[in-house]
Amino acid sequence: MHEVPMEASSLSTMLNSIGPVALVVVLAVIGSSWLLPRPRGRFVSGGVTAWVAAVVILAVWLYERWGRPTSDAVGSLLFVLFALAALLGGATLVVQRNPARGAMAFAFSILGVCGLFLLLAAPFLMAVTIIVYAGAIIVTFLFVLMLSRTAGPSDENDRSREPLLGSLAGFAFAGLVLWLLHLSTPGDESASAFATAAPEWKTERKGGMAKIDEGQTGNWKESRSEGTAPEATTARAHKDLLTVLTNAERQKLQEALRRLDQAGEVLAGDLRHDREKRIEHFEAVKDLVVQVVGAAREDEMGAAIEGTLSERLLLPVHATGVSMPLYRSDPQVRGIIAQARRVRATNWEVFKQIEGQLLSERPERVTLEREIQALRRELVLLLGYGEMPARTVSNLAYVMYSEYLLAVEAIGVLLLIATVGAVAVAQRYKGEGG
Amino acid sequence: MITLWHCLAVGAILFGLGLTGFLTRRNLITMFLCAELMLQGVALNFAAFARWHAQMYGQVFVIFAVAVAAAEAALALALFLTLYRQARSMDVSVWQSLREAGVPATVDPDPLPPPTAAEEEEIVHLPPAGLRPAISRKEEHAGV
């Protein structure tokens, strides 16, 4: 195919994107090699300046690269604060001469990481980390006081091994990871260039994903023979694929839920009057749900009506002739697709029932309410996918004591062995000096 | 909005910082804390992926990692104590005779600066504990 110019351009995009990361790494290495303790040539102010410059460039790059319009200003602010606390504490630990102050800086860093755990919906992890590391830090602190009572400068605190090469190793690693993250982010030009540079891999993925969808195998095969997709479309598709439920879909489902909750008022009074208005109300619900999950029946032309959800997560886009790779095949997506199918079936059934009831001679209020509740239940379940379970702690305990029971037991034994081992290692034998 | 990639970036930088400290510092305790810093970076990755996939498995792994870190801390501090008893120093380079064959020994070219007067004063001199007080009969009587 026409691979040569495309590969060259993707290479240049990749090289362009590595610029800021490389600059950050170089600045961090310079700062670190100035700051690390040594008898001569330590340049603290220069090192701090280099690090601050690196952090500023990194922050700007991160914002440019992954920053979105702030829909969650408080969350973003808290994230920035906690992340800065974690990184500042870690940096102080690395360059601090006094190990006792280093231990305190490490505790500060742990607090920052715990804040990030909270933001990531892991309150139990936060508690565990604080308890375990607070204990560990106090013990370490005692060790520091006990063992390092040296007068003035000492070999262990005021010298570093290979400050330049060591920092280069550490920060080059971090920079490489950042650059890989940059390349692997969906919805980016260089990322899609990366993907098109390896068409074999992509079509293989497509073939694997096609198994999920039963009826579309023919289309997948066609798209495979077509080869590469236009980059822009793939990029846009990737961006849309990021979330399992987009905001628009969420709003539509919530609007449908709101209308279902109004059913009491709509169905008030004699059911034999105002039939048109009532059916219209529920038809709006049906249309909203159809827009998201699609319809269970075909339209006049005999083609299946697909909602935005299944189009986004499962099906190839017919209109543009470009097939989107479904790159998320995790249980969450599988669950939401299954739930969407359930909603699609229920939606159709419920609307038929409601329409039939309202048009019949003697509408039964009980049947209507039962049907509405059935649809409402499925809709709430669909909305609930894509969120963390609300009771994270009990869910965590459930997973640990059901699926990972053996590992939990093994960890307990390991802790016991470590305790015994620590006593055995540290005990003083008869006749030993010290 | 904060996405998965922001958390992964913070985790990567934490790991890089810890790696730098572990490679360059010579105090055993500082090296140990830097290793814990690397563990924190990895734990952050796990928690972020757990949030992203709305599953618990990542958090389960973090709990295991914390438990292993606690076991590691117990053994490491016991080992440090033993090493300190033998060498009277927390410097890891004291033990460089254990290095690989064919690798030249590290030498410290610059002499350490002498301690300043303020640093000398900072040291707390504790009286030795647990000794029998050396009291003579005469002093005892004089005290009474």
Q: What is the ipTM of this complex?
A: 0.83
Q: Does A384 contact B at CB distance below 8 Å?
A: no
Taking CB atoms and an 8 Å limit, are A120 and B92 in contact across chains?
no
| pLDDT given at position B20 | 95
Q: Which of residues 105-124 of A touch B (CB under 8 A)?
A: 106, 109-110, 113, 116-117, 119-122, 124
Taking CB atoms and an 8 Å limit, are A162 and B53 in contact across chains?
no
A120 has a pLDDT exceeding 50: yes
Of A116, A152, A163, which has the smallest distance from its Cβ to B10's Cβ?
Answer: A116
Q: Are A109 and A86 in contact, with CB atoms under 8 Å apart?
A: yes
Q: Where are the domains of chain B?
A: 4-92
CB burial class (10 A; 0-12, 13-18, 19+) of residue B2? buried
Of A185, A404, A421, which has the smallest distance from its Cβ to B60's Cβ?
Answer: A404
How far, in Å, CA of B67 to CA of B29, rounded? 19
Integer angstrom CA distances of residue A180 from A183, A186, A287, B9, B55: 5, 12, 43, 10, 24
A179 has a pLDDT exceeding 70: yes
The residues near B25 (Cβ < 8 Å, ≥ 6 apart) are: A36, A94, A160, A161, B31, B34
Residues in chain B within 8 Å Cβ distance of A58: 13
Write b or e for each residue in B50-70: b if 16 or more Cβ atoms lie within 10 A of its Cβ, otherwise e: bbbbbbbebbbbbbbbbbebb
H helices present in A36-72, as ranges: 44-66
The 10 Å Cβ neighbour count of residue B141 is: 8
A1 has a pLDDT exceeding 50: no
Global pTM value: 0.63
The 10 Å Cβ neighbour count of residue A190 is: 21
pLDDT in tens, A371-407: 888 888 888 777 766 556 557 787 788 888 888 899 9
Q: How much of chain A, in percent, has pLDDT values that exceed 70?
A: 69
How far, in Å, CA of B52 to CA of B44, rounded? 12
pLDDT in tens, A303-344: 667 777 766 665 444 444 444 444 455 556 667 777 888 888
Confidence of residue A9 (pLDDT cuts 50, 70, 90): low
Tens-digit pLDDT profile for chain B (144 aa)?
577 788 899 999 999 999 999 999 999 989 999 999 999 999 999 999 888 766 788 899 999 999 999 999 889 989 998 888 888 888 888 888 888 888 888 888 778 877 777 666 666 666 777 777 777 776 666 654
Taking CB atoms and an 8 Å limit, are A169 and B92 in contact across chains?
no
Q: Does A207 contact B at CB distance below 8 Å?
A: no
How far, in Å, CA of A361 to CA of A369, rounded? 17
pLDDT in tens, A210-268: 333 333 333 333 333 334 444 444 444 444 444 567 777 878 888 888 888 888 788 87
Q: Does A363 contact B at CB distance below 8 Å?
A: no
pLDDT in tens, A82-92: 999 999 999 99
Of A83, A94, A124, which has the smallest distance from its Cβ to B34's Cβ?
Answer: A94
Residue in A with minimal Cα distance to B105:
A161
Taking CB atoms and an 8 Å limit, are B120 and A94 in contact across chains?
no
A270 has a pLDDT exceeding 80: no
Q: Does A38 contact B at CB distance below 8 Å?
A: yes
Q: Which of residues 2-21 of B touch A (CB under 8 A)?
A: 2-3, 5-10, 12-21
| pLDDT given at position A211 | 37
Fold type of domain B4-92: Helix Hairpins (1.10.287)
Q: Does A156 contact B at CB distance below 8 Å?
A: yes
